[in-house]
Structure 1
Amino acid sequence: MNEQLFGWNEQTWLYLDQLGILAGNVMLLFSLCAVVFGWLRRDNIRRWFSRNRFPHIGGKPEGKDWQGLVFTVSRDELPCWVIGQLRPKRIGLLVTDHSEAAGKRIQAYAEQQGIAVHRRMIENADDPNEVYLRTRELLQLLRGEESGRLAIDITGGKVPMSLGAFMAAEEAGVDSLYVSTRFEQGRPDMRSASITSVSRTQ
């Protein structure tokens, strides 16, 4: 006796079997389309998964134990003050034609304290991509010399410089800082200076 499960007839089971085969083929086709779409749009998908997140924004930086610092330079007073406060072992300077003299003064001040200094010239201070690339170079140099935390001070320079340096900091997973201070007669009043965290990685 040839009884079918649930008492359904053979024709019903045949339809269900064909429906299962059709569903499997549809899923296979869908999977292939998803693979092709993912390959064609891989850059967009990668950016979506690695999009910036800012879990630690603002506030006073904790620890202040950065071994390496990168500065966007416009004047020398604030970077020299930060160096005196944080005592890093090595620094990087992003300078332009207008800030080259200030960069040399910062370098001289740092080297007097036994701090290693690297400089990168920014040809176009309005190009954040150039600043981003030069910042990455400095971070690689600083990382290659010694272990330890790194940070980028984005206080100095034009706004595109700060943006380019900040993007490099986020991509590299390093902290970014800002120095706030009052100005008196066109010069920063260092008595009011304080270091603020823009974005912290931990």
Structure 2
Amino acid sequence: METLFLQWINDPTGAAYELFNRSIFYILVAIAGSVATYFWAQIKFKTRNAWHRIKNTNISYDGEAYNGLILSLGSSNELQKMIIDQVKPEFVGIITGNSEAVKFSANNLKDYSTHLKIQCDEPHLYGELDIERIEKGFDDIIEWMIGKGIEKKNIVIDLTGGKTPFSLAAFNSAKRNGVNAVYTDSEYELGKPKAGTQKSISLSKALDD
């Protein structure tokens, strides 16, 4: 390189000049490549860590562990899947309407639970204005879970999904049976719940305070 530099000084317009310039160019490209590789590795590392934190952010149920989870459900079940993933119950019960869209959603959620080795009762389907029957459906699932050996304190109804009559029926059943009722709030992005943004409030405890 030193010889090439001296030749370039003596003959700045000759072949040595061109060869020296090419050498400098390749060195600069190599340096730029190394710098780019370093920053790309940093970006991937930070992104991977950020995703790990987001994915593993727990839905808070006041730190309680629940073996029985009862879900009211609408036509989308993405949030309910997140709730199941975080609560990790042994038993799941599902109550929803009787339209084709919500039936599909309920059966899909049942299959999802079964795949996770969670015992899931057959979805309970009701007309959305039949509040008495809906309440009875929640009562029946609570009774089913108690029959499986779960104490009432370890049963929770998440009434987030579905239409208002289902939420009202869920709360009434929870209050009457002495189990916790929870609402889970979430931010959404492109119509889907954004992972790591879920926050839950115990309605039963909030109203008792």
SS at match of 2:64: coil
Q: 1:95, 1:183 → 2: CA distance?
A: 22
Moved more, 178-187 or 64-73: 178-187
1:116 aligns with 2:142: no
- 1:97-112 matches, cutoff 5 A: 97=99, 98-112=101-115
Is 1:175 the counterpart of 2:176 in the alignment? Answer: no
Structure 2: unaligned runs, 5 residues or longer: 1-59
Give, in whole Å, the separation in 2 of the partners of 1:194 and 1:169.
20
Cα 1:120–1:103, aligned 2, differ >3 Å: closer, same or farther? Answer: closer
> Aligned in 2, Cα 1:169/1:115: closer, same or farther, shift over 3 Å?
same
Q: Return the alpha-carbon distance in structure 1 between the equivalents of residues 193 and 178 of structure 2.
A: 30
TM superposition score normalised by structure 2: 0.64
- For structure 1, the 5+ residue unaligned runs are 1-59
1:141 aligns with 2:144: yes
**How far apart, CA to CA, are the structure 1 residues paired with 2:95 and 2:116?**
20
Query: 1:57-95: per-residue Cα shift (whole Å, max 9, x none)?
Result: xxx633321110110011211111111101100010002
**Larger helix proportion, structure 1 or 2?**
2
Match of 1:199 in 2: 204
- Is the 8 Å Cα contact of residues 72 and 156 (structure 1) preserved in structure 2? yes
Give the aligned length.
143
Asked if the contact 1:120–1:134 (Cα under 8 Å) also holds between the matched residues in 2, the reply is no
- Deviation at 1:147? 2.4
Aligned-residue RMSD, C-alpha: 1.8
Amino acid across the alignment from 2:179: V
Work out the percentage of aligned pairs sharing the same amino acid.
23
State the secondary structure of the residue aligned to 2:198: strand
